[in-house]
Structures are given as C-alpha cells and as structure tokens.
Structure 1
Amino acid sequence: MAKAEEEVAVTADEATPEAVAEIAARKTAREEELAALTRDMEISGDRQETIAREIAELDQDRASLNAALIRTAERVHRLETALAESEERYERLGGNEDEVRLSLSKRRAVLAEVLAALERIGQKPPPALAVRPEDALAAVRSAILLGGVLPELRLEAEALAGDLAELTALKRQMAAERDRLAGDARRLAEERARLGVLLADKKARFRARNEALAAEKKKAEELAAKATSLKDLVAGLEKEIASAREAAEAAARAAREREEKGEEAVADASANRLAPAVAFIKTKGHLSLPARGAVLRRYGDDDGIGGESMGVSVSTRPRARIVAPVDGWVVYGGPFRSYGQLLILNAGDGYHILLAGMETIDVELGQFVLAGEPIAVMGTQRLASAATLDIGSTQPVLYIEFRKDGKAIDSAPWWVDMENQKVDG
C-alpha cells in the first residue's frame, strides 16, 4: 500500500475517469459562469435616466465635456483591469479546487482499501494469547498488521481532513471573488453607458458645427479605396481632405509657436486646449498604451509572413475602450484595405499615430482629441487584419503604429515602462 507522503503529488492520470470527467465538466461550467458575469451586463432604465440627467447638468462647454470624458474613460480602464485580475484569481482558485478534488478522489480509493482490511480484522478478531501456541502466533500476526495499518490510516485521515478544510476555504474565496466580479461588472456597465451618452453628446455638437462632414467622410473613403499603402493614404488625406489639411496646418502653427515663444510659454494642460499640450517628441517615456492588455508583438518582431512588424500588437478585453495615447487631430477613421477599421491621429511635427483592429470608431474627421479621451471600442474577438494576421490570440487585438514623415518608427521609447510590459506568445 502506498504511503501518504507518496500521494501528495496527485495528477489527473491517477484519478478515476469519473473524477476526471467531473473536473472537466466543473471547469466548463466555471468558464461559462465567468463569461455570463461580464457579458451583456445591463443597467436599469432608471439608472440610465439618472446618468443622462447627470450629463445634461454638466456645464455646456468643451472643457467640461472633455474632462468628463477623460475621467469616465479612466474609470472604465480601471474597472476593465480589475475585472481581468478578478477573472485570473477566480480561474486560479478554480484550478486549486480541481487539484483538491482530484486528491480527494485518489485518497478515497486508498482509504477504502484500509477500511476493508480493518473490517476483515473485525469480522475475525485475534484469539487470546494464553489458549494455544498457534493462537499466540495469529495474535502476533494481527498485531503486526494493525501496527502497520493504523499509522497509515491516521496519516490518510489527517490528509483527508486537510483537503476538506482547504476545499471549504477555496469555496468561500471563490464565492467572494464571484461577488466582486459581479459588482465590478455592474459598475463597468454603468460607466460604459455614461461614456456612450457623453460621446454621443460630443459627436452631435461637433457635427452641428461641421455641416461639410458627410462630404469629407465620403471623399476620405474614396481616397482610402485608391491608396496602395498607409504612406499614400496619409499623404493623400492631407492633400485632398480639408479637415486633414487644416489639422496639418494647425500642427505646423503650434510647432512654430513653440519654436518662437518657447515650450513653456505655449504649454496648455487645460481640457479646453485645441492643440497638443507639448511637442510630441517631448512625450517620450510618458505615454500609456491606448488599452490595457498583454503585448503580443513589438516593432521589429517577425510578423509571421516573412517580414517585420511595423508596430505593436496588444491583446485587449472584449469591448475594451480605446483612448487616445496623445493629443492629436483625427485625419482618418474608417476601413482601409486589409487593416479593417483604421484610425489615424496627427500628433504634430510630422508624427502620426495609427490604430487598427477596433470594431467601432467614436470620433469624427477633423476633431481634436486629448490624451486619455475615448476614441474607439474593440470587438468581442480578434478581427481579421493584415497587421495581426499571424497572431493566434482569440482575444481582440489592437495594432498601434507610429509614423514620422510617412515612415514607420519604433514606438517603444514613447511608452511608459514598455520594457516591463508582459509579452504573450
């Protein structure tokens, strides 16, 4: 009979087929429960009306709306991160529960053998020592058997009690984590609803000021259909589209002002600014990624199709909010060749930020956006895109590319602590 210390390492191979099947079913149920906690979370009509009233009461100016958008986007990002961490803890606790159950399943068979041996001894107890010599021999043999079995039984019972106590504690922790997940999911649904109302309000105001927007969007789409590369697209937009041309001119003016008056004299950190707070080159080492997630591929990595990646690919949560990594003007937002939905920001000084892989874009051509302002939403799974063609992730993947004077450059120096970002794959 195996000793208790030899049974600490429990694997699925050592458990019964029934136990393994039960664990697999439990894991599937746990994954479905986790998905249900965060999928399609809705808020009541009363709560939606309350949010709409709060936004209607905001000061009706650009600064107030921008500040509210950025604050709400930050809360959404924090909640998305908290949900991801809770899901990881919940999955880890579930895995621990599976291990304990497998351990119990294996010990059940061992204990059954020990108890069966004791039952046989009970049915045929050893005789008294003083009757016959052969009786004494039988008693000695029984004593030897009991001496070997009882310590084994005690060890198994202690291990069993320990497993049961751990299982009880794990169930309590999982229940607490499940409650935390549900609460965070409800709060995330509220913040997403708030963000949706704020964005709709801002887009309505922008459209009211720009009657030519529809014609510009149509012309931009025609240019995108004709362009053969991202470089051609950016050049064509700034030549043919009035809002993109105006953005380039505004960026040039801002650069001249910084050069003539000095960086500090023209720096504007208010939510009402209409030009970048600082020159893009000065933001090196200070930018946050547009979405929280694991870095799957960096600039210069093998792109899986015989070339090198020109940007960074980041795995995100389903329906994650994408925020502008830097101040800039929207010069394009729409489909482009095999990139899917593409968003281009003019960050000034010849720099452009390209984002792809989103499902929807929430900003308009010519709009000036602030760093941290919500600009797009990811889908529920990875969308087909040339930029992320060889990535095996089923999660949505955001592609980020920096360009200087039309040429792709390494964005790593601009990101906060990029070297310590997690890389999957």
Structure 2
Amino acid sequence: MPKKISICAPALRAAATCLLAWSALTLTPAHAAKKTAPSSPAAPEIAERQADLGELRGRIEGLRKDLNTSEENKADAADRLRESERQISRLQRELHELTDQRGRLQKRLENLEQQSKDLAVTLNQQQSQLEKLLYKQYLRGTPDSLQLLLNGDDPNQVARDLHYFSAIALTRAELMGEINATLDKKRALAADAKERAAELKEVEAQQQVRVAELNKQREERKRLHAQISDKVAAQRKEIGNLQQNEKRLTSLIDRLSKILAAQAAKAAEAARAAEAAKIAEAARQKTKPRTEPESKAPPRREETAEAPRQKPAEAENNYEPVASNGNFARQKGSLRLPVRGTVSGRFGSPRDGGGTWRGLFIRAAGGSEVKAVASGRVVFADWMRGFGNILIVDHGDAYLSIYGNNESLLKQVGQSIKGGETIATAGNSGGNPESGLYFELRHQGQPIDPMKWASLK
C-alpha cells in the first residue's frame, strides 16, 4: 500500500491542480470602476428639488440673455475677447471634469487590481485545501457500506467511517462551490477591468483634444489682446466706465436677489405647509402638538464702510479657505480669502478711473486656484463686461460672494459647493490689466467689506 500511494499521490495532486488550472485564463489585473447601478426612481421630494433647480436655471438663463443683449448696445473693446475667454473657460472646466473622471477611474482600477490579487490568494488557498482533501480521500479509499458490514467490523466503527466519508464528500462539494464562485468573481473583475480600461483610454484621448483646443484658444486670445490692448487700456481710464461696470453688476445682483428671494419664500411656504401637516397628524393621533418654531429675526443690514480717500498699503494673503458648514453670518471674521496673492485693491479705497473699490482685487498668477469662501450654491457663471468670467455663489440669508476676472469657471449654475472647494482659476479676463481675482461680498444686495469677514493672519 505505501508503494502504491507513493506512485499515485503526486498524480492525484497534479489532477486536482489541473482540474482548476483553467481559472488562470481570467486572472488579468483589474483596471477600472464599475458602472453605477441604475438609480432607483427619485422620491417625490427629490423630483421637486430638481424641478426647482430647473426653474432657477431657466430664470437665470433668461437673465443672462438679457444681460448680453444690453451689453451689445454699446461696443466695448474688451467685448472682442468675450467669446475667446468664454471658450477658454469652457475648455478649462471640461478639462477639470475629465481630470476628476480620470482620477476616479484610476482609483477604481487600483481597487479592482487589489481585489483581483486578493481573489487569487483565496483561490490558491481553496485549491490547496481541495488538493489535501482529495489526497486524504484517496488514502482512505471509498469503501462500500455493505462491504464494511460483511467484513464483520465493529458496527460503531463502521458508522464512524461512513460519517467521516460523508463529511469529506460534503466538504469537497462546498469547496468546489466556493472555487466556482471565486472564479466567477475573477471573470467579472476581468470584464469590468477591460471596460474601465477602455473608458480611461477614451478619457485620456478627450483630454488631449481639449488641451489642443485650449492652447489654440489661448493663442487666439493673445493675438486679439495684442491688437486691442491700447484701446482696452484707454477705455478703462474713461471717466464713468468703471461706474457703468459697477452699475451693471449691481443691477445683476438686484435681479438675482429677487429670484433667490422668491425661491426662498416658496421653500419657506412649503416648509410651513409640511410643518402644519405634521401638527395636524400629531393632533389626530392625540399626541402633544409641536409648536411652530420661532421665526428668525431678519438679518441685520450691513452698513457699507465710508470710503477713505488715501490708497492703503498692499497686503499678502497666504491662506486658503477650508471646508465650512453652517450659517454664513456666524463665520464673520473667520473666513479666508479665495486665492493666495497680494491684496492690491481694498474695499472703499479710490480706484484708477474713478469711483471706489466695492470689493478686493487680489493679484495672483494666471491659473491659480480660486476657492469658495464658504458652502453655497452657484447662481451665476458667465462672462460679463468689466468683470470677465464671473461666478456668483449664494450662501443663504441674502449673502452672496462674487468672483471676477477669472481665466476659467469650473462650476455651473445650480451646483452646490463646499467651503474650500476649487470653483475657478484666476486670470485677467474682461480686459483687466493684471492677473488676479476681483472678489466681493454682498448682503441684501449691498457690498460689504470682505476684510471685516476674512483674516490675513
């Protein structure tokens, strides 16, 4: 018997290994993210919010068209740069989105590859267990139960042997099931990897196309700017030109504020109706009714600072906004300015060309990341005369933050953002002579001093 075993056991181990060798066909490293499962039907509340968002976008789009129409009534040299700067902003946003998508795909690829390695280890362990089990079964043989009884062996020993052989058979079946399940997972991972790899390749190809288009648009803007730079500079020095730009922005803010106030009133009415329904339901169930929450006092109107006539010294901002939640008014004094750079124009100080600064101008290199000072929702993102690519964020309670002269806008109307999230890149769009960011804070439509809300320390 020992001689027979020494001859056949290696062959048996090889047979057990060969039985499962076909699993290696599916063992390519995993490469990408699985497609998200189809989302379940939207709840009524979600559908209502989406409808409100669609309404907001529609009204702001109408406002944007009105603004463009009014700007076309008077020619301005910087307007020749408008389409080029818009295209640069669009391409930069698409590149930013593609970069995020590429990052997610690569992260998913790494995750799938790790899963594939883990499954390979599991499969090897399962194969080893099956090999040992088959070897033990071979050593013991598979005797017939009747033969055991006829041999005159102890019935109790016979029962124990039969139970042992039954347990081995059951364990073998379970192991085979586990191995098949592991192999199925490996095949699914391999197929997913192949699909994600194709997606990643497509995203990278799109990135290359966008980069080429972006470089082309930048060259076009550079050429146009060289042609009209003298005229742009002359128009910026015209008395009243800056005031007209500020008036245009104020008009936009006023109209946006009305739209946002109407939406807030609608939301408040819906909240009151929902609360009343809850109270009525509680009354029907004979429980203690909830009292209506006390209405908050309307936020105090911030007074604008009187404009000092002397030009203040420049200051350096070396900090960036961080993630923030909660009521915007409570963050007064703790905000950070949206971009690192030199604060060269301050609220209330005189501007070249007439008027006073109603916000801050922060000099920064083109392409510097502009971050939201606090959480909110984008309510305007487009090109505007005098401010170039401008983005406006609603923080609630009639507070708005305004980011102008950007090279690109990375967010669109309706998108929710978090404090510290990158929303744009600094530039000199709109005919601005310096690269940087124009930044304003407004409350109830009135400009307020950002330096009373933010710190450089």
Larger-Rg structure: 2
Give the TM-score band, short-chain normalised.
0.3 to 0.5
TM-score (norm 1): 0.45
